[in-house]
Amino acid sequence: MDFCTFLVTLLCIGFLLWVLVIMRLDSDVLTFSYSYFGKSLDRAFSRKVVWITGASSGIGEALAKELAKHNSKLVISARRIDELNRVKRECLELSKTLKDTDILVLPLDMTDYASHQPSFSKVLNHFGELDILVSNAARSQRANWEEIESEVDKELFDLNVFSLLALNRVVLKYFCRVGKGQLAVVSSVAGKIGLPFSASYVGSKFALHGYFACLRNEIASKNISIPITLICPGPVLTGNLKVAFTAKKGQELRQNVRPMSKRMSTERCAYLSLTGIANELEECWLTSFPYLQLTYLSHYQPFLAGRVWKWICSSGQAKNMRDGEESIKNGN
């Protein structure tokens, strides 16, 4: 066997091993590795002040509870104050050290831009500082592309993108002034691979990557240490489909997720998300087969990814991948 043949064989074996590895993972290789060999969450988050938006349910609630286990001081925000108070009680039960004053319940409507600065002032008045902002508030969508009303695009972008940017700009000015801080943004693998039948939602997540990639480069040019982590979950076992946008303004999907769904648990999603934040990763892809493989393909081989998506859609499997057996209407 000559050297070229040996080299090609070695590369093929390496590629096959790589494929076999990522077939079994529930996150990108770097995040998965750091979950075992990276910075401990106790060391990364103990006594840090962390503000989580969209904290009344789903991923945001799970993040708050996971941080409570690691002795973080918390600011939890959403519109539903009753649910925020419930999350606070459960966080205190999970923690052995946090006191009532270590968790600030801060009701916030993200689309009320005028409330952002006063809300942040309440955070500083209560804790005297902020270390990490986790932007999680968002809504999903299910709709055919050509049927989406323009008002739906605007309303979804207002919540998922523009309100988030406005709050991050308020907090970023403070981080730049004190010379430290960290931003974490919950995006989606839909913002990496363009999942079908959710165009407004997908577009909003793609937009976040553009905005924060720009910010990351601007921060680097100013020699300021403010890490930015984009968290990209795949399907997660939450109730987000109940209030998801559709193609029509003012309409909610009202769809439930099957209890036996293969979606990732919110607890696992929160743990992996915090792993990425603790180790200051730029992106974390939190999903398993086939979404993880499609994300890798879309990121590194967009031409091949396009051909795969064409086959998926032409075979009628696209909607099954988006929801399929994982969801049911009206709980039936």
pLDDT tens digit string along 297-324? 899 889 988 898 888 888 877 776 765 4
Q: At what angle do helices 302-314 and 291-300 cross, to 10 degrees?
A: 140
Any domain includes 153: yes
The residue with greater pLDDT, 21 or 59, is: 59
Q: Would you say residue 181 lies in a domain? A: yes
201 has catalytic annotation: yes
Q: Is residue 11 part of a domain?
A: no
Residues 78-108 as b or e (16 or more Cβ within 10 Å = b): beeeebbeebbeebbeebeebeeebbbbbeb
How far apart are alpha carbons 48 and 70 in whole angstroms?
A: 10
Rounded Cα gap, residues 220 and 266, in angstroms: 32
Instruction: Assess contact for 130 and 101: CB atoms under 8 A.
Output: no
- Let me know if 13 is exposed, middle or buried by CB neighbors in 10 A (0-12, 13-18, 19+): exposed
Number of structural domains (the chain) is: 1
pLDDT the model gives residue 331:
38
Give the closest residue to 252 by CA, choosing from 241, 265, 263. Answer: 241
41: CATH? 3.40.50.720
**Mean per-residue pLDDT for 27-55?**
96
Q: Residue 106 domain-assigned?
A: yes
The answer to whether residue 21 is domain-embedded is no
Identify the pLDDT of residue 231.
Answer: 98
To the nearest whole percent, how much of the chain has pLDDT over 90?
Answer: 72
Q: Measure the N-to-C terminal CA separation of the chain; round to a whole number of Å.
A: 62
Question: Which regions of the chain does DSSP assign to beta strands (E)?
Answer: 49-53, 73-77, 103-105, 132-135, 182-186, 228-233, 255-257, 283-286, 327-329
Global pTM value? 0.91
Active-site choice (201, 271, 291, 296): 201
